[in-house]
């Protein structure tokens, strides 16, 4: 969701190198070819899922220790470009497209044989200024949106397993979030976006993606209503992406996650955890790190036992690359690996779930 900008990622990375060693045990070697608890994608596939994946952002592409893990298919079978496919990077001025940032991640993942979840075609943040300040009329903005989606989906045609077509269109109460598209076009911007994506690539899965839709409630119902509206209009929609930006100790319960997925699946769509992370209110402790492991494992288990939950994506796997500290002040340590690439207990607990041993 609201990820680091490319520039912020670099400064965070530098910052993180000054952090002291983490308090948790260094349990698991990663990135090597041996089968082991860190081969999360291999384990997920054995458990019947399509993938276990991660978001990857551009600043980390020069870090060999990072890329050795990120593009190791045994560990991560799927990659989501964290920022590079967003509107502000792909259409910096109207009608002028650049896919350089997105391609940098996509090309590495494709070479590694990893699936791609592509992210995101329409979102109210990280939009180019020409778009937000253009005062376009309805018909013009519809054309702009259709041209953007057509160009980007065609560029990545055949490379993406799925597209997050519309991201975060809902308020917490399930009503439509105010943004330039809603203000100018009205709620029909969503079917317009899905129809354009379907026309540009009939084979790619089309997802609605949002946060706080991981347990039943008004916002989850709002997401279901978006799916129903598209279906009523006979417009292709294939899945609901549950971002799952959780907080250790206050994540949705396992049972409510199961019920929530059932509600979506009853509409005839698949589901996925698309941006899973579990942030900790600092300072961290062994107890909080253990709670984090439990929360990660519950989400993964809920997906594993739900047939139409196709896979789990973590929103980066390395604390220095995480968007959390800059977005939620006083929290952090949200990913699976510490600054020193040491696996946290969450890695072992996820592996146990995938192996069916919990």
Ligand X SMILES: *[C@@H]1O[C@H](CO)[C@@H](O)[C@H](O)[C@H]1NC(C)=O
Rule CB under 6 A: which residues touch ligand X? 26, 29, 138, 185-186, 188, 342
In a 13 Å sphere around the CA of 205, the CA atoms on its Cβ side amount to: 19
Which ranges in 218-336 belong to alpha helices (H)?
218-232, 254-265, 286-304, 324-327
147 catalytic, yes or no?
no
178 DSSP assignment:
P
Q: How far is the CB of 186 from ligand X (least distance, A)?
A: 4
Helical residues (DSSP H) of the chain, grouped into ranges: 6-16, 40-46, 64-70, 87-90, 100-111, 129-132, 138-155, 180-185, 189-200, 218-232, 254-265, 286-304, 324-327, 345-354
Contact yes or no for 77/53 (Cβ under 8 A): yes
In the complex with ligand X, which residue's Cβ is closer, 24 or 211? 24
What is the DSSP track for 133-162? Answer: TS---HHHHHHHHHHHHHHHHHHTTTT-SE
**Beta carbon nearer to ligand X, 21 or 100:** 21
Give the active site residue among 152, 214, 275, 342: 275
Q: Write down the least CB distance from residue 93 to ligand X, Å.
A: 24
Residue 105 or 197: which CB sits closer to ligand X?
197
* Given the residues 91, 152, 168, 270, the one annotated as active site: 168
Cα gap 98→146, rounded to integer Å: 17
Q: At its nearest, how many Å lie between ligand X and the CB of residue 137?
A: 9
Helix, strand, coil distribution of the chain in percent, nearest 5: 40, 20, 40
User: What is the C-alpha to C-alpha distance for residues 323 and 300, in angstroms, rounded to an integer?
Assistant: 21
**Which CB atom, from 185 or from 353, has the smaller least distance to ligand X?**
185
- Residue 102 Cβ vs ligand X, minimum distance, rounded to whole Å: 29
Nearer to ligand X, 26 or 133 (CB): 26
Give 14 or 26: the residue with its C-beta nearer to ligand X.
26
Tokens of 145: 């949106």
Q: In 3D, which of 2, 41, 31, 1 has the Cα closest to residue 311?
A: 41
Q: Tell me whether residue 168 is one of the annotated catalytic residues.
A: yes
Catalytic center residues:
168, 275
């Amino acid at each position: 969701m609201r990820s680091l900008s490319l520039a912020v990622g670099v400064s965070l990375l530098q910052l993180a190198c000054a952090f002291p060693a983490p308090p948790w045990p260094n349990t698991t070697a990663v990135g090597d070819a041996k089968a082991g608890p860190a081969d999360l994608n291999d384990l997920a596939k054995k458990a019947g899922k399509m993938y276990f994946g991660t978001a990857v952002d551009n600043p980390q592409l020069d870090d060999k220790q990072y890329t050795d893990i990120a593009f190791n298919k045994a560990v991560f079978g799927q990659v989501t470009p964290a920022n590079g496919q967003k509107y502000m990077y792909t259409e910096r001025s109207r009608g002028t497209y650049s896919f350089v940032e997105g391609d940098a991640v996509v090309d590495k993942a494709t070479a590694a044989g990893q699936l791609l979840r592509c992210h995101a075609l329409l979102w109210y943040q990280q939009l180019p200024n020409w778009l937000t300040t253009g005062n376009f009329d309805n018909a013009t903005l519809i054309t702009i949106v259709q041209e953007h989606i057509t160009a980007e989906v065609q560029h990545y045609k055949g490379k993406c397993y799925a597209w997050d077509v519309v991201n975060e269109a809902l308020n917490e109460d399930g009503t439509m979030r105010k943004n330039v598209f809603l203000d100018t076009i009205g709620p029909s911007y969503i079917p317009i976006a899905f129809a354009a994506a379907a026309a540009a690539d009939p084979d790619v899965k089309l997802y609605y993606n949002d946060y706080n839709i991981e347990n039943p409630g008004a916002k989850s119902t709002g997401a279901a209503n978006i799916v129903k509206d598209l279906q009523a209009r006979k417009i292709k929609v294939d899945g609901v992406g549950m971002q799952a930006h959780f907080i250790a100790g206050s994540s949705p319960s396992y049972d409510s996650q199961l019920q929530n997925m059932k509600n979506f699946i009853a509409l005839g769509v698949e589901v996925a955890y698309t941006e899973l992370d579990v942030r900790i209110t600092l300072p961290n402790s062994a107890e909080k790190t253990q709670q984090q492991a439990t929360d990660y494992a519950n989400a993964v288990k809920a997906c594993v036992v739900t047939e139409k939950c196709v896979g789990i994506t973590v929103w980066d796997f390395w604390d220095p690359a995480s968007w959390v500290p800059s977005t939620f002040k006083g929290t952090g340590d949200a990913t699976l690996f510490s600054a020193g690439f040491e696996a946290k207990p969450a890695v072992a607990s996820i592996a146990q779930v995938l192996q069916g041993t919990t």
